[in-house]
Structure 1
Amino acid sequence: MTSTLNPADEHLAAVPAYPMERAARCPFDPPPELRDKQREGPLAKVRLWDGSTPWLVTRYADQRTLLGDPRLSADITRPGYPSSAPITGNASIGFILMDDPEHARLRRMVAAPFAFKRVEAMRPAVQKITDDLIDKLLAGPVPVDLVQAFALPLPSLVISELLGVPYGDHEFFQDNSKILINRNVTPEERAAASGALIGYLDELMSEKIARPADDLLSGLAAKVEAGVLTRSEVAQMGVLLLIAGHETTANMIALGTLALLENPGQLALLRETDDPALVASAVDELLRYLNITHNGRRRVALEDIEIAGEVVRAGEGIIVPNDIANRDPDVFEDPDRLDIRRDARRHLAFGFGVHQCLGQTLARMELQVAYSTLYRRIPGLRLAGEIEKVPFKHDGSVYGVYELPVAW
């Protein structure tokens, strides 16, 4: 066992910056430098925007172990936490950036609507939303931006209905969501967007208290009235669910479609199947292959931890980039190949451990409906233009495309 490196003794310029840049010719793959780090060893140091040098964990087995280790903290306010951007005093901090028992207490308050049976009961409604959007696609002009016409409105409509947020306000919450997940905005811009969303959810909660409905926010508002939750806690949970409920799924729909268009054999398999198991397999394989959460999951050590022959000291930051774990050749054979028949259920796209994504069942169901319906109903779907001209999202914590021009 070797001792931990002392960041003060390192030549800072020699430590690679993180996040790392993707290769323009390989937009679906992890950054080449991240691949190099995985080949070199299981653990490395990287440099963040503030000059800090947390540990980078490159391999699947170590990532899974660490994400399940209670000696690591997800609390963004702890010293040493490897934040992806400056933290402002009035920023929204949801329960995903907290530790148990507070994390578990708040998560339990919103878990019921995301249970498997509840989500499956929503499938017919999601199917209708999908078909209605495709009807509009087919009746409209060609080419069309699939992001604005289909990929973004589908999950936005679903999460709005689930939460009880008026879909008419979707431009407001989408615009502010884009700011919060963009690592290049100023702290003031991020604080303003966070404040706007929290204020919006707080005002909406007042309406739910006065006129409760059959939705998640009304249920949370009732807990405020009962003294179980505070208004601030509900507003922050609402922001988290609103952003997570549409940004990630929307990007997966668009980016997954582009990946399939670039792999026509795989697209044909998915388009022509009526086997729900193959559709489910395709969703998990695309989640593994693309891994749109590409900013790394962040943790800080609460005590000394030995991992891969190194000692990570208490107070040191750790970054777990799931995109490279999902391309680990020790776990996934020929990992750079998209194969929708692969058993990819072990992927870490939704994380692992107590902070594993709460909405993964809903996301999987929405993607199953979207992928299985879109290509069947529009069998001639194609990219309208060259992939080199597609604007990819390199500036935020969620990867995808800003636009996806398609025709048929």
Structure 2
Amino acid sequence: MTSPVWHPFTQHGLGAPIPMVVRTDGAALHTADGRRVVDAISSWWVTTHGHRHPRIMAAIADQAARMDQIIFAGWTHEPAEVLAARLVAILPPALTRVFYSDSGSTAVEVALKMALGYWTNIGMPRHRILMLEHSYHGDTIGTMSVGARGVFNRAYAPLLFDVGLVPFPEPGREQVTLDTLDALCGGGDPAAAFIVEPLILGAGGMKVYPPAILAEMRAICARHGTLFIADEVMTGWGRTGTLLACEQADVVPDILCLSKGLTGGAIPLAVTLATDALFDAHWSTDRATMFFHSSSYTANPIACAAAVANLDIWHDEPVLARVTDLGRRQQARLDRIAAHPAIANPRRLGTIAAFELIDRGGRPDGYLSAIGPALMAHAGARDILLRPLGDSVYIMPPYCIDDADLDAIYAAVADFLDARAIA
């Protein structure tokens, strides 16, 4: 019988098999047919410490035994209060307000609404949002609007609002990026906000740019009063080598979006942190100026408890040392394949290694390239979970991965590259 499940980012018409996972642990997924599959992409970038970390699982079980979901509009609970206080304590001091939501997309939607609400409520309406070329911030209408236009959202174009596009800071063209941002921020219609993925663009192809450019973009926004939104949904929680990617540029945003690794990847939760200025713009005795956003599951107590346990792990265990070690081990293996004629632009940032596959015409071939699915199938047959972004390949495993599993990932990639070279 055909499954009734409609899977995300899956073309069911291709008939590719969909494995049934029955158990997870550490850096691996275990399937119904008895395979142990190395999770080379942290199950879409969420799993940090490893699947089913005992401390997070215990926190979930303990909280579930005492409280499930409760209304959060006008009510509160201990896990949400503790988590918010703990986040404020470890993140930049200017980020004093914590708004809960459910996913990276909703964290960004919240950020956009906060920014527009701020300008409206202080009586100086600004409406234009700026974004960096090739960005991806989610799949809701607002997040698609501030993401790259193309195959991801072509069918939904009538629903998307216009944004100002800042070119990506390609090597040698960084000044074009900065000059464009400067021009778009100012003028007779100043921009409300600029949203950016710090240091590395995720679904846009793991495109990397230097901390100095991030710092310059932040400074330009500050000069024009344009709110600076940092989408650290993927880059946060150690992926780039520091707790936040923004740290590497000494940048503090006006609004910060976090999700994925917030709970160690165990359960959905997101936060949007903001400064007092944004909160105060919505504070009033007038109910019409409140922040009009929520979901039924805002600040789910079980998810908040998982996030508190994640913060305990960061506090008690040498997580950044593991991150540094994984980055070193990634680089050593990337170096071994870097000169292969079938790849281009090998690069690493923190725990993320990436490169482009080259088609037989001698160039990368884009998101709908057949090369990516071919590598995914090749790796899957060798019990490795990879999911290239078209011809952009990335390896982003949990921090707990051992050398044997990391070697298996790179061996599968190398075999694929060699097979293409002699085909």
For the aligned pair, the TM-score class normalised by the smaller chain equals under 0.3
* TM-score of the superposed pair, with normalisation by structure 2: 0.27
Higher fraction of helix: 1
* TM-score of the superposed pair, with normalisation by structure 1: 0.28
Higher fraction of strand: 2
